Structure 1
């Protein structure tokens, strides 16, 4: 199924994201002798008003806890309160390539996704730990993700199900048996939203989300577009971050929904020859429209999304964060961007 940027997308989303504020965390910040950077996933513990933020540093795989004070629709400086480094000598971690991308706090446990390293024959994984980083259990990932994942295109995204009875994952790029990486002007690039039962750790259902085409012709192999994070904001409705790079970051948030007609692709070995109905997809926000409000008029490498504290009017807030790649590719930002979620 070939899709363009305009196909299968409408501007009739039932939600709106209103920009409120941005905070840029200072570069070269350190916490417990390790640099603060590579912030690739974030989640919020409402009960304790505490944020969990994961860093994708494979040398020192870790996550932080932080306080993010929101007053008068503004972000005060995020305060990092603790850090937990995974022990790479421990049995599970020693045999798992920890390229940590997404983090959840659920039922007093930490749940994390790792992209692995496909070129190095290191499988992607989803696992849980206690709040000190000690391994608890691994989710059973369907074999197709272990066999057909593109390198650096695996489990970039996790979200808690709205009823907190399970989690959803999304692969960043299409599986090799499902479709191509996004191209211009049309593309056939489906990814899979997979649901895992929290108690059994087993995948039970799966739905298809179609990535948008690139917005201009591909110049080199670095041009890409993929899902960098997801957030289920009500049952079967997700905020989906698509992050493209073509000389600059092109970031959009879509409202994707599972309808009664959406095809359950669980167990399907290849989507290339299958007829299917994808999730419904509606544009919520093009970050290019808020550039003028940002301190450096720049959209960086947006990788994480979570709810924040509710506003006085009762509306929920949304926080997105960017991954500065530890400045490996030149100057980048650790952005914290605050939105009001308005349901129409």
Structure 2
């Protein structure tokens, strides 16, 4: 059965940052390759124009709020989010209809002189805007000085090239999408640093009642990626933690000798000062990612995780939305 098609170009909402536009263009190209017409619509979000610490603005959900409002108001037909920035609480009226195959979910180190984490001297200054990364860096006991940073990829890497910091930690997927992984010193082993739940994956969101767009986006859905990120985000949800909480999780699909598939899930919860470090794991059936994540969260809570998890960010207030279409930019 053929997928229904829009009578006009699909309006794809994206943040205006270089990385966001790049990853949205990848999605648009994948849809175009399947015969759909697509027009990018840039949406200005609070997280793009306000460089205050994310915790002060309500967490990483500030990146999704304006895109979701543009969807609900009918200004765009779909939105592309970095899944790690998407709040776990479902937005009424919207649905994540497609989750494409994820990029490498690991974190990456960009350091002066090509140094690795283990080679950084005690007292080295490492920048990150993520409490999760800060907690795991402190847990390594390397004597690093962690500083909070914000900004796009160029801004963050510029702290190193300008000599203001010894290193910064970024998501490898972001550098991969803009073709700059060769500038990294080290891809960090998950044994040292578990990524954010959903890191490296994209969420393709549309209105729940838009059956045509839902069917189109389902063409790009990858079952293994959806299963893995569902398990990871179930940990966040059951911990009642927000996207900016010091929580890491990584699920992997494992094939057993008898051919059955299982999900192997690891998670981290820690204090940003290194005073608490919890690493736990859970294995379960492929068709129960939600249950696996919930069971692992219960284990973490039983072992004291609640002590370091801040309250979940409140639902974002309706933002002021500014949009710019591709055709308007070309004038």
The structure richer in strand per residue is: 1
Question: With structure 2 as the length reference, what TM-score do the two structures score?
Answer: 0.25
The structure richer in helix per residue is: 2
Q: RCO (CA 8 Å, sep 6+): is it higher in 1 or 2? A: 2
Question: With structure 1 as the length reference, what TM-score do the two structures score?
Answer: 0.24
